[in-house]
Amino acid sequence: MNLIICYVSATIDEVTKKGISDAGLTPEEYEKRENKRKRLQQSLKDCTYGSVPDKQFVKDFISDLLEKAYGIDKSNIDLIISFNKDEYLTAIDKFDILLNQYKKCHGKKALDELIQKYRLDEMRQVDGMLYFCITEEDIENIWKDEKPALSFRDKLDVVVQRVYSRYKGYHCIDDILDIQVDGISGGVNGLPETFIHDHSKDYESYLHHLEGKKISRSYESVWLFYRGKSIHLRFLSFGSYDELKRICENIYKFGSPGQLSQATGYKVNKLKDGSRVVVLRPEFCESWAFFVRKFDLPDVSLNWLINDKNAEMVREFLTFLVKGCRNISITGQQGTGKTTLLNALIEHIYSVYTLRILEMTFELHVRARFPERNIVTVQETDTVSGQQGLDIFKKTDGTVTIVGEVASDPVAAYMIQTAQVASLFTLFSHHAKTFKELVMSLRNSLLKTGIFQNENIAEEQVVRTLHFDIHLKKSITGKRYIERITECIPLDEEDYPTGFRDAANILEIQMAFYETQLAFFRKMTGKRLYTWKDIIVFDEGQEEYIVVNRPTENSLHEMKSCMLPSDRMAFNGFIKKHFGGVL
């Protein structure tokens, strides 16, 4: 295989750099070949950035080269990989063959189909650890069950992919990057090279202590992020520390984001298909490591996301929240599906509304799903802050503001302001664990940015902006669900002494007095400026969604007033059925 890779590399290098001879060629033939040479040059550059069409062009060129120039045919292809002798095939060989066969039938859903068919995403005990993993034994068992019959073309496809992945691709994960998964990472377990070099005596002692037990290296580390589960692909390996380093040094380079060096230690960028890439390196990190997070889910819809008992009720309620123009926060820890749910909710926003979306990096790709709708998405850059992005939205005729992730104080503060005066309603995600922490975090952002000096007034602005919080959770088994849907309820002004209401309604110059008095009142009485109640919660024991409270009448009437007549009728029936009473 190494000889073939060297041959392909040298031949392509000669073709792209030295050009072609025009001897015996007509002008038309020469121009055609010259155009192909230029296309190859460009594809060789762009294929490393995650461009699937360019990758396919390079693979097609390699295929022609191997078959027509190198002389690979039915009689000798088994000398490269022993396709007809199972005992000589490694687990990686068998996985590559299986994945290629499944791609023929299922396309980008190939790995998803394979995992689901053989239940490879179930937690189990391996080497004393209870976790998610796919082992060499799993691949062997699948191979025996599948017994794939391979044509010459099937074999050549596998060989070409193997050559490409070592030449311009990303080794054993190259094919996985092109299909539908949540993400993939490497270099995140196993002994790093720095440990072996810097602690050679400790390493020898460690080997002796384990009495010959195999110790994985960081270059043997490949993990799949699949449906909220981190699955260790124990049978895959990059082969060497140098190969892991090569991948880390190349996978982040789309758009020329700058050089990864010891001084920077990490890079955050994206592939050409929009996947987010994070790369770490020594000295900053103990090992070379990378993380690719993909956002090409097969069906970003509420039907696909919410499937437990009474899921239909939850899906309907979420739809009515959006059609009712509620300000909605989506909270939860990393990996719980906040971005995915946010994307699914966008589908139910009335098409007449224009959407303005701010993201840290482009992940939602809403215009790709709704190319006919009025949508503008911007991202934070080194020179343009999220706050500036939200500010410019005020001048773009936007109706609905969507913030992919509220991750900084300026963005949080500006988001609150935008939700109050510049947008019909707002959707955003946040990492808060509880509703109280969400309010406190947003309140503190208003204080830190200097928009308010009094925490009570800042808190009041937050709670009068927030309407509903959808909190997502992921169980230890990887199950993702909506833990609760919570309504924020600001206390009515009549709950405060009359003098406070008057102070709030007179001249702006008296606002400082109002703030002082309100703070004193709260300190003396301990009374909150708001309360909250869960509307729908998930019962983990029964694995079903249950209604625990009826939304406030004020909220229901405001939602109804924002809907089309047909949706109002449906909303009335929904409330009567699930919450009792009528509107």
Tell me the average pLDDT across 492-511: 46
Sign (positive or negative) of CA dihedral 502, 503, 509, 511: negative
Q: 300 and 534 in contact (C-beta within 8 Å)?
A: no
Question: Residue 159: pLDDT above 80?
Answer: yes
Could you tell me the residue range of the domain that residue 516 belongs to?
Answer: 495-527
Tell me the average pLDDT across 335-364: 89
pTM of the model: 0.78
Confidence of residue 23 (pLDDT cuts 50, 70, 90): low
d(CA 259, CA 357): 29
Closest CA to 559 of 305, 318, 353: 318
Tell me the average pLDDT across 162-168: 94
For 303-318, the pLDDT digits (tens) are: 888 999 999 999 999 9
pLDDT of residue 522: 55
Q: Specify whether 534 is located in the same domain as 469.
A: yes
Tell me the average pLDDT across 381-390: 79
394 or 241: which leads in pLDDT: 241
530 pairs with which residues across the strands?
A: 490
Question: Residue 166: pLDDT above 90?
Answer: yes
pLDDT of residue 315: 97
pLDDT > 70: percent of the chain: 88
| Structural domain contains residue 447 | yes
pLDDT of residue 491: 83
Q: Specify whether 499 is located in the same domain as 459.
A: no
Closest CA to 480 of 338, 348, 310: 338
Confidence of residue 512 (pLDDT cuts 50, 70, 90): low
Average pLDDT over the chain reads: 86
Confidence of residue 451 (pLDDT cuts 50, 70, 90): confident
pLDDT of residue 225: 92
Q: Specify whether 84 is located in the same domain as 189.
A: yes
Number of folded domains in the chain?
3
pLDDT > 90: percent of the chain: 57
Cα angle, residue 439 at apex, residues 436 and 444 outer, rounded to 5°: 125
Q: Specify whether 98 is located in the same domain as 209.
A: yes
pLDDT of residue 359: 84
What DSSP state is assigned to residue 551? P
Q: Specify whether 82 is located in the same domain as 66.
A: yes
| Structural domain contains residue 176 | yes
d(CA 238, CA 533): 51
Sheet containing 544-547: order of strands: 375-379, 355-359, 400-403, 425-430, 328-331, 468-474, 480-490, 530-539, 544-547
205 or 74: which leads in pLDDT: 74
Phi, psi of 569 (to 5 degrees): -65, -45
Q: Specify whether 505 is located in the same domain as 457.
A: no
For 99-114, the pLDDT digits (tens) are: 999 999 999 999 999 9
Q: Specify whether 362 is located in the same domain as 276.
A: no
Say which residues have a Cβ less than 8 Å from residue 568's Cβ, sequence separation at least 6.
560
Domain with residue 195: its CATH number is 3.30.450.90
Collapsed DSSP state (helix, strand, coil) of residue 515: helix
| Structural domain contains residue 20 | yes
For 557-577, the pLDDT digits (tens) are: 999 999 999 999 999 999 999
| Structural domain contains residue 483 | yes
pLDDT of residue 498: 43
Q: 370 and 338 in contact (C-beta within 8 Å)?
A: no
Least confident of 7-21, 258-272, 551-565, 566-580: 7-21
Question: Residue 244: pLDDT above 90?
Answer: yes
Q: Specify whether 134 is located in the same domain as 231.
A: yes
Q: Specify whether 33 is located in the same domain as 160.
A: yes
| Structural domain contains residue 508 | yes
pLDDT of residue 59: 95
pLDDT of residue 204: 56
Least confident of 61-70, 154-163, 511-520, 525-534: 511-520
Q: Specify whether 200 is located in the same domain as 307.
A: no
Question: Residue 502: pLDDT above 50?
Answer: no
Least confident of 25-39, 125-139, 198-212, 461-475: 198-212
- b/e burial code for range 172-211 (CB count within 10 A of at least 16 → b): bbbbbbbbbbbbbbbbbbbbbbbbbeeeeeeeeeeeeeee
Closest CA to 427 of 402, 444, 463: 402
Q: 449 and 410 in contact (C-beta within 8 Å)?
A: yes
Question: Residue 500: pLDDT above 70?
Answer: no
